[in-house]
Chains A and B, each alone.
Chain A
Amino acid sequence: MEKSIESIWKNGFLDKNTIVIPKLNNLSNQKSIHIIDKFKRRFKININALIIFSFIILVISFLVKIQIMGVLIFILLNVVAIINKRLLKGLKKIDKNVSSYRYLKSFDAWMQEQIAFNMKISRYIYPYVSIALSSGFWFSSSFQKALDSLFEGYKPYITYGIPVYWVIVTLCIVILSAIFGARIYKWDLNLVYGSILKKLDELIKDMEGLRTQ
């Protein structure tokens, strides 16, 4: 009697030797390269996005006549882009001709260094952004007109030429953004690179587990 294809399949795989699981050669190397390449790509895209965004802000600020804010933000974004380009150079220097564990550890060390650095400058960046926005809007004639039309006959409280309430509110925001700048950066970082950093962490733990076994 002719065998059915179902029985050939079932009986054929009854012998466990029929299924020999191939060795996974170099899998951790491929994963390391994949993670770091993905990070590099995203990092480069973000730097370029910062530069493009700075120009867009600049043009828009001139169109809506809040040039002060536009110029200040333009300068800031370009400074951040230049700093991060320098940091990226450090990443390119990491030696690839080492084991994937050492490669990942070097990358992790670079990552921690750049996180620490960016957290430090974030304490100044966010207050700077607050001041740029505040002064930009204050000196903008179109914003003043909008305030006038919104609150008819609005007269800001000004002493010695200083808009007191406006300055107090701005100062509060500046202080808060200086205090929480590092945390805002961390939140932002997790939003953009969270998945990559998680994979990196898992991979390092995985390799450390293998090394101690």
Chain B
Amino acid sequence: MSSDFYTSSILPYSGIIIKICRAYTDSQEDFEDYYQEVCLQIWRSKDNFRGDSKWSTWIYRLSLNICLTLVKKKRKTHQYYNTENIIQNELTEDKTVFSDEDLSLLYEAIKQLSEVDRAVILLYLEEKPNKEIAEIIGTTPNNIGVRISRIKERLKKILNGKIN
């Protein structure tokens, strides 16, 4: 990494990387590990960036793929634990807490979605056009439009009555 690769090429997108990592982790420790891994993988893979898409699109795609891989890995590791350990682990997990209570509730609701739906809604909330979301997820813009409406409905149901 050149001395300013992190500052110039990763830091401007750290906001979305953080939001993505938060959506796939349940503890501060995991979140920091995921963030670090995403930064490391972006640096490792930067030579693979061919300029076919925008740098930001490439970063989103990579961040999502890394988080999805880490989630799968974590799930596999959990299978080796005994039940007692899992219960213990669940007890130590902390909820994503932001100073804004509504935002914390929204995040908890997002975490109840499937992994792909989480990716779609995060990009939607970041005001990415359907075309770019489709490009990142690997589907068509029409599918994304339909999916977003369904996810929003689902989130409304989960949050029903919790937010005024």
Q: Which residues of A contact B (CB under 8 A)?
A: 2-3, 5-6, 8-9, 11-13, 15, 17-25, 27, 30-31, 34, 195, 202-203, 205-206, 209-210
Contact = CB atoms under 8 A, between A and B. Distances in A.
Interface in B108-164: 125, 152, 155-156, 159, 163-164
Contacts, number: 80
Contacts of B14: 19, 21
Interface in B2-40: 2-3, 5-6, 11, 14-15, 18-19, 31-32, 35-36, 39-40
Nearest to A3: B163
Query: Helix, strand, loop or mixed for chain B's interface?
Result: helix
Given A6-B125, A22-B32, A195-B47, A205 B2 contact: yes
B103 A34 contact: no
A23 B36 CA distance: 8
B125 A2 contact: no
Contacts of A8: 100, 102-103, 106, 163
Given A5-B155, A19-B15, A210-B3, A27 B39 contact: yes
Contact of B99 (A3, A18, A31, A210): A18
16 contacts: A3-B102, A3-B163, A5-B159, A8-B100, A8-B102, A9-B106, A9-B125, A11-B103, A12-B102, A18-B98, A21-B35, A22-B32, A24-B6, A24-B39, A31-B40, A34-B40
B1 A206 contact: yes
Interface string B78-102: 0000000000000000000011101
A31 B43 contact: yes
B44 interface: yes
B40 A27 contact: yes
A6 B19 CA distance: 14
Contacts of A24: 6, 36, 39
The majority secondary structure among interface residues of chain A is: helix
A34 B40 CA distance: 10
B98 A12 contact: yes
Nearest to B34: A22
Nearest to A203: B1
B48 to A, nearest CB: 10
Nearest to B16: A19
- Those 4 A-B pairs whose CB atoms lie nearest each other, nearest first: A12-B103, A209-B3, A12-B100, A22-B32
Indicate the member of A12, A18, A27, A195 with the most B CB atoms within 10 Å: A12
A11 B125 CA distance: 12
Contacts of B159: 5
Contacts of A34: 40, 44
B12 to A, nearest CB: 11
A31 B1 contact: yes
A29 to B, nearest CB: 11
A202 B100 contact: no
A202 B47 CA distance: 13
A22 B31 CA distance: 9
Given A30-B40, A206-B2, A21 B18 contact: yes
Contacts of A13: 15, 19, 103
